[in-house]
Structure 1
């Protein structure tokens, strides 16, 4: 259903673009970055950090395994207090290893942040090239063929048809107050035009949501 909606939306853009001489284009960001030495270098650096952090985690679990085997071998000779102390140390080490693993490989963890850091120069270079080509070729929009779904990499705000869609839905806009009135008469505040991600009229560009891998 979602893919069908995207397809219909693209057809609508193409139909409107033909009527107003709007030019559309697309790029394959994965193919572009795969040919960039800077991208390959960034990938190699990311792999080094991943391998180092993986080894650190393996070392932590190896230490835990050694402590557990030592405890099992000596358990019969230990007092109850000594057992509790040994088990507490093992439990603390396990907790530390899990926490470290989550910090490194968890959601938005250290590896994620390192990828963003190393890929940022590559992404910015590609975006500058897209902006330049879009300006030279007078493109209204540039889509990314490699993206999941439809990602607008560049858009000219004059091709924003948000207001037309709102009218179709029975919503009216007060241009001065930027209030949206529904057919039932309820008022809600519409987003500031300059902050609309579909237009991004401040810079005329919007970054791709999918970073090159």
Structure 2
């Protein structure tokens, strides 16, 4: 009985092996592809501009707070305890407002995150559609992203489909022929 079960298991494994080995895979470098796309570069410029604007607003607010602290320290000897406490409350309130604004802008799912998502997602969707089309045309079951967190110690260029995706997006090098 054990021998029959062992032979059946071996037969089952042998039957599965060809189907596993027949799978085709490839990889693309989405970071490289995105850098070639003018709409991605424009989105990045807009994101950077917004980030710099918001960051400078926050820095300006912190400078204002520092000025309030400096003013308080300079006038400290002239203020009563109640006046000093009132000023400290104002400064702390201003600090809390700036921290809340910073969180609203740069925090998890803040305005920066949402704007980046809004600008980048259509470009990423376009790349995904091109990758899907190339995968179907080349009959690939799996495509890895070389630029992602997946670590590839060695990659054979024969499995690199980045150029095909660039061609699909109309961004291929006219001097480069993809076969």
TM-score surpassing 0.5?
Answer: yes
Q: Aligned partners of 2:117 and 2:45: how far apart in 1? A: 14
Matches for 1:49-198 after TM superposition, within 5 Å: 49-149=50-150
Instruction: Give the equivalent residue in structure 2 for 1:166.
Output: none
DSSP-derived class of the 2:139 partner:
coil
Q: Aligned partners of 2:118 and 2:18: how far apart in 1? A: 40
DSSP-derived class of the 1:26 partner:
strand
Deviation track 1:51-108 (CA, whole Å, cap 9, x = no partner) reads 0110110111111111111111222222222111111001111111122222222333
DSSP-derived class of the 1:148 partner:
coil
Give the number of the structure with larger relative contact order, counting CA–CA contacts within 8 Å between residues 6 or more apart: 2
RMSD: 1.8
- Structure 2: where are the runs of 5+ without partners? 1-16, 152-179
* Structure 1 position 110, deviation (Å): 2.2
Q: Looking at secondary structure, tell me which structure has more helix per residue.
A: 2
Q: Aligned partners of 1:140 and 1:22: how far apart in 2? A: 6
DSSP-derived class of the 1:143 partner:
strand
Aligned residues: 135
Q: Aligned partners of 1:145 and 1:51: how far apart in 2? A: 30
Task: Mark the structure with the bigger radius of gyration.
Answer: 2
- Structure 1: where are the runs of 5+ without partners? 1-13, 151-213
Instruction: Give the equivalent residue in structure 2 for 1:202.
Output: none
Check conservation: 1:28, 1:144, Cα contact below 8 A: yes
* Structure 1 position 133, deviation (Å): 1.0
Q: Aligned partners of 1:137 and 1:126: how far apart in 2? A: 16
Q: Looking at secondary structure, tell me which structure has more strand per residue.
A: 1
* Structure 1 position 15, deviation (Å): 7.2
Q: Aligned partners of 1:66 and 1:109: how far apart in 2? A: 28
Deviation track 1:177-200 (CA, whole Å, cap 9, x = no partner) reads xxxxxxxxxxxxxxxxxxxxxxxx
Instruction: Give the equivalent residue in structure 1 for 2:164.
Output: none
